[in-house]
Structure 1
Amino acid sequence: MDWDKELEAALASTFETKDTDAAYQVTRDLIGKLGDQFTRVLPPAEASKFLNAEKGQLNAIGMQVTRELDLSESTGGRRVTAVIAGSEAERAGVLPGDLLLTINDTSLRLLEANEVAEMLRRPEGVDVKLLHKDGTELRTHLQAGDVKVNPVQFGLLPYGAEDSGKAGARSIGYIRLAVFSENAPAKVEEAMRTLQAE
């Protein structure tokens, strides 16, 4: 690929149009030719959302789900992997391990992972049907709202099954980095200091 020629053609094409969306599409097409999954063009509204996410601030319903369908259940669906504290999902009773079955009455079997993510971010909210681990069903409307994401969870686990619960038992610390954000390094450092002190 002759990058200079590709760039020149893309620039000429964007100068010829007065349509902002068309100019962004030309730019996205050009970037796509790089074959780099981590390089992308963000229009101002998307860039603003991205920067807020970097700061740990999201407008979301507050749950993360797997990209893959869980076919171990006959109904299919995607597992909830995390529920953000203080979020709409938490207030509605969504729990990690729940199986998300439908969004707005559409089976997740019919949706790609990116479609699921897009639907869960709709500002007007979504109607969801979930199956709890105990077999009970939860149907609720979840409205996106401002959510502050704590990028780090940490704790101590007993080291060795035979040692758990005994006096002087050893523990091993863990740190889970849920999201890369602006304040993640400081939160990881704080978690390490806390774990070392325990």
Structure 2
Amino acid sequence: MAIAPALILGSTSRYRAELLQRLRLPFEAVAPWVDETPLPGEAPAALALRLALAKAHEVAARHPQAVVIGSDQVADLDGRPIGKPGTHARAVEQLQAMRGRAVVFQTAVAVVRPTTGFAQVLLAPVTVRFRALGDAEIEFYLRTEQPYDCAGSAKCETLGIALLEAIDSDDPTALIGLPLIRTSALLREAGLDPLQPR
């Protein structure tokens, strides 16, 4: 039986690593060296797709024998990208702008395998409806969770779920940061099937 190629997650996100562990494929996480600055006029979905593929290609260039996963998420409010807040003040601004609104979290995943020339990227949009949040609720949530490394300040896998009225998605892990249905499909295409004996 052929030896499966090494699998690398091109990300330092512990959320993505925790999700990828569900597929029970051994992998290592490697930080991608990619400038995440949006291009002038770049739409959120296009930004997420470009960055996911760029991250996978960048890590694959350093690990050419591996299969590499790259992923990126950009919150989309009326066509405007909302990224990671980084600070408390920016997180407050983000949540105030999104309260009572529908926001699309554009999550992209790419898989690259240099030895076969395989390189594909897919988008998994998730529409989220935020509650009409009060300022005190926003402040309590941010002080409790400190989600400053999450796109749109929304950490739905913990207390952030209480910010929301509804989530609409066909790939339920996409909102957390790695759409596992699409990831599994791309890995199968790349020759690394999570359901095949190893």
Structures share fold, TM-score greater than 0.5: no
Which structure exhibits the higher relative contact order, with contacts defined as CA atoms closer than 8 Å and separated by 6 or more residues? Answer: 2
Q: TM-score when scaled to structure 1?
A: 0.22
Larger radius of gyration: 1
Q: TM-score, normalising length from structure 2?
A: 0.22
